[in-house]
Structure 1
Amino acid sequence: MSRLNYHHLYYFWRVATLGNLTEAARQLHVSQSALSAQIRTLEESMNTPLFARQGRRLVLTDAGQRVLTYAGDIFSRGEELEALIKRGITPEVQQLRIGVLSTMSRNFIEGFITPLIERRDVRFSLHAQGMANLLNGLRNHQLDLILTNANVVNEGQSDLWQSQLLAQQPVAIVGPDDLQNKKFPDGYSNMRWVLPAPNTEMRAAFDGFCSRWQYEPAILAEADDMAMLRLLARDTGALTVLPTVVVKDEIEQGTLKVHMTLPNVFENFYAVTVKRQFIPPVLTDLLESQ
């Protein structure tokens, strides 16, 4: 049975992270030819190329990018272990990679990471992507957790995704402060609306609410991005439907006003992780603080 040669993997990791074969050879105190030979041996053992040449540059292939992710995790954990064994301490700086759904409220994300901002022993990165890319990043250990407003359900892999409900935010009708506190639907007949996209849970809930009141909103625009809805509500004078956390700054400043909270309608926010043997302490602390 073939076994992974971690010496070769370490050489690959140093070249990939430095992005320069010459500099990696200098730091490792080996010749460039010897270093190239070690990486070729690793590629042969994996039966796939890890680098592709573009002129004089070495560029990671898709497989190389995936191997780099695992190598980074292996050797960074090794450094943590060495620090723990030699000095009996955890690393001075812990790293956390957070993926966020690109359409989510930036205010909610900011509130979530506030505990990290206050810590000097943590460095974190944020990656805004679509759901498919987020789940792939989590599955391939490129991300430590993801934030989403859609629950992730395991299908045939019962222990893959671990989802934690972080918050339920009430959904409200929000807009300019010129409706004089009229009850819905009175006074709303001449108002225009910027609404969540038709394929969203919020839009479905609002459509159902309007149907009960036999009210037909005059739609100016639709968007599936909370940041865009926030801008449209602020700049068009139209009404919108969204969680109040999205526009908390505008509400505090008096630019926008909450006219009514929709009954029994909430936006859920989740933190999703995957089962792993080693969980960074900072991740455990962060989730427990929510």
Structure 2
Amino acid sequence: MELYQIRAFVMVARLGNLTRAAEALSVTQPAVTAQIKSLEQLLGVALFERQGGRLVLAKAGEILLPSADALLAAGAELRAQALKLQGEICGHLDFGIPSEHPDFLRVGELVAAMARTLPRVDLHTRTLPAVALAEQVRTGQLAAALTISANPPLDVQWIDLRSVRFRVAIPNALAASAAGAGWRELATLPWIDTTDSAHPHVLLRDLFERHGLSPQVIVRSDDVAALDALVRAGVGCALLREEVALRGAERGDFLVWGHARTDARLGLITASERAGDPMVVGLSSVLRTVWGLA
């Protein structure tokens, strides 16, 4: 039984309407319906009945509603006590981030929220390639890390934040060569890549391997955030985040090739053995708030 199921039950009971309850909870109506249904299945009783197009409490719902209210109150009290304890958490926390635009990762918001919520925690950010981030979390060199991957890394805990789509960006100078080109022709164009363990390299390699090809790389850059500038300068093609690629194409800085795309996920990874570490728990809680998951 989850608190969000209890919260959905109480909200629908108060408002008598799934749509209004969904709006109040900032979720979709199907999500509220699913939460109520799963709670009813778990409890083995019907909580609501439909009367004249309105949801009203069934007999079991009337009996259980006070207990549900008490559970939510207890949860709020637990949260309030935890917030008081956060001010007592102190120490040094090494936090990894991939090479990406800081605004996209919401690093500034996270650091500012950490400073407010956990003022005695010394947060040290380290920028590393995706493969290195996962390895250093596994070995304990990093307490946690943001990472971008087509598949969540194994042997670590994962908090999913959002999807990330990548597109192929082509310099304007190569527009004629790319017009009507297929994957084989695209692979022969000059390409900008990153280090072997960075997420753009892994995604670019996998994208071409699907077609039995590999791109002709002429430049490698450790700075993923600088890839669009290199494409804009005409150095070569690159795999860019869709937001960056489309924004550059709208400005006429470069072209976006066809409908080719590859998808990944942005998430927070932590080592399973550090799941109970107060600083890691605090970081996870702050990050959920920053990303609207709390």
Task: State the TM-score, normalized to the length of structure 2.
Answer: 0.48
Higher helix share: 2
